[in-house]
Amino acid sequence: MKSLPRIHATRLIEPRHKIEQLDLEFSNGARRTFERMHGSGRGAVLIVPMLDQDTVLLTREYAAGLHRYEIGLPRGRVDPGEDLLTAAEREMKEEIGYGARQLVLLRSLSLAPSYMSHTAHAVLARDLYEEKLEGDEPEEIEVLPWKLDALDRLLEVEEFSEGRALAALFLAREWLRREQA
């Protein structure tokens, strides 16, 4: 296994967006400067809320990056002092009006590891109960029940394009299949 490159220097070049340059030396002697964007350090959660054994609750909300409404999963930042599962529970209550009696961390997912340190943690939520918390969303988020066995049809929906949501849904489906076996 290759050893990690040696970091000779780091410089913050854009404080507002937490962009830094790294002066690196690789094990073969090659030297390069890379740029990376730092996340908050706490990461984010991406929740797969299961209404029942077969039905996931998707969200439909405005996505500024694409300037359209996008279908996805409840998600959000991990606030200071929160652990991942507490953040997942809070985000569900704010965005879809449900809490969960069972939360399982499925896997941590990177967004763009070549230049971002941000990590999203995929969480499976089961045994849901209704409870709404006030969130920071500018409008009510639409909640869409979707059958897990129809994920192939979801891939054909233009409004569904977030790779992390797709990965989290497949991770949840496989986790649930293994549990039933």
Residue length, the chain?
A: 181
**Dmax (CA) of the chain:** 58
pLDDT in tens, 129-153: 999 999 888 899 999 999 999 999 9
pTM value is 0.88
E-assigned strands of 38-180?
A: 44-49, 55-63, 68-72, 75-77, 98-110, 119-130, 142-147
Q: How many CA atoms lie within 13 A of 75 on its CB side?
A: 22
User: How are strands ordered across the β-sheet holding 68-72?
Assistant: 68-72, 55-63, 142-147
pLDDT in tens, 56-75: 999 999 999 999 999 999 99
Q: 30-65 b/e with 16+ CB inside 10 Å = b?
A: eeeeeebeebeebbbbbbbbbbeeeebbbbebeeee
Residue 38 has pLDDT above 80, yes or no: no
